[in-house]
A = this chain, B = another copy of it.
Amino acid sequence: MTAQRGKRRGESGKTMNYRGIQIEDTYCECTDIYNARLLLTAATEAIALHEAAYLCGWSIITAAPIQGCVEGVAPAGSTPDGRPGVLIQMNAPTPVGLPAFCRALLDRLYILPHLPTCSLYNATVGHAAATSIDAAEHVRRWGDGFDEDARVGSRDCVRIPIMTGDQYIEKQITVSIGTDGVLEVFAQNAASCLQGAQEAAARIVRNVDGVAVFNYPVGGISGAKVGGKTYTQEGVTINEPFCPSVRGATETKLPEGAGAVIEFPLVAAGETAICDGLRAAIDAFADTPGVLAITAPAFGGTWGGRKLYLRTVLKDEE
């Protein structure tokens, strides 16, 4: 890894040449999140994926009270009820407060009895719990007296009769403190942005354990900055240095030849998984024709303030 002279950009003023693209030698500003890792099982892998995406829809903290991210498929036979499942991570930055997060989580899960053939289990393993909440306490009342305590393997669950059979919901859901991680990817055009983001999401969902993607199956989003400069009362506004159409009107971070940008955010229970995810994403974008450069966003500490250097993410690859 050699910093290239004359290609100064960002805090460090240096870029790394990695597999044919430029990676700015900077850090991703990360924040702590409340995170509940859940396993949604269903009659088939395809239904589990559809319903996991449905449960995780409309869920970026900018607009929604909770974020739902898709981690991957749990093979049939590996799950409490033996059926195929999808691991999801329901999360929110810790500044929202634990009570608000728990309320939002219970609200989101209250839709479960509508999801045909689905059941839900706790899937946090080996992380210190911030708290644990009784997921079934309220939703069991859907059962209108036909709800019953039940065990699935070693799991304490509630059983609710629904139209496709019985639904099981594990009672204790662990909420742990996890973290996020984000890339900003510059490409010649939006086709490269979309192809790269979808490929990064596909690789992470298929192959990388413990880390989850937003906006599945697209994977990428258009990102924002914390606060506003013109509208100072806003909590979130566009990150204009990454918006190609205002390139001439304000300071830009777009390198020459870049026509579009995609933000690729991830969440996980811890930094190791985030690094695995970011590395897989960087590789996917590096493999994408038309991707030129990658950097990471920083907000001067207003977004959590923990620093994760891209050179640390890539260190195993040097």
Contact = CB atoms under 8 A, between A and B. Distances in A.
Interface string A80-116: 0011100000000000000000000001101101111
Interface stretch (A9-17, A27-35, A220-228, A301-309): A220-228
Contacts of A245: 161, 165-166
B54 A55 contact: no
B62 A111 contact: yes
A22 interface: no
Interface in A252-288: 259-263, 283-284, 287-288
Contact of A288 (B165, B191, B238): B191
Given A57-B53, A284-B76, A164 B193 contact: yes
Q: For chain A, give the interface size range.
A: 35 or more
B116 A220 contact: yes
Interface in A56-80: 56-60, 62-64, 68, 73, 75-77
A130 interface: no
A146 B111 contact: no
A294 B80 CA distance: 25
Contacts of A190: 43, 116-117, 164-165, 289-290
B191 A114 contact: no
A242 interface: yes
Given A57-B54, A223-B163, A238-B162, A116 B262 contact: yes
Interface in A184-206: 187-199, 202-203, 206
A221 to B, nearest CB: 4
A221 B191 CA distance: 18
A58 B60 contact: no
Given A114-B62, A283-B76, A242 B163 contact: yes
Given A108-B58, A290-B290, A44 B202 contact: yes
Given A50-B218, A163-B261, A246-B161, A146 B191 contact: no
B163 A115 contact: no
A262 B238 CA distance: 35
Contact of A113 (B116, B146, B202, B222): B222
Contacts of A152: none
Given A117-B194, A164-B193, A199-B46, A142 B57 contact: no
A59 B259 CA distance: 35
A145 interface: yes
Contact of A84 (B83, B145, B191, B203): B203
Interface in A214-239: 215, 217-218, 220-225, 228-231, 234, 236-239
Interface string A134-153: 00000001111110000000
Interface of A: 43-47, 50-51, 53-60, 62-64, 68, 73, 75-77, 82-84, 107-108, 110-111, 113-117, 141-146, 160-167, 187-199, 202-203, 206-207, 215, 217-218, 220-225, 228-231, 234, 236-240, 242-246, 249-250, 259-263, 283-284, 287-290
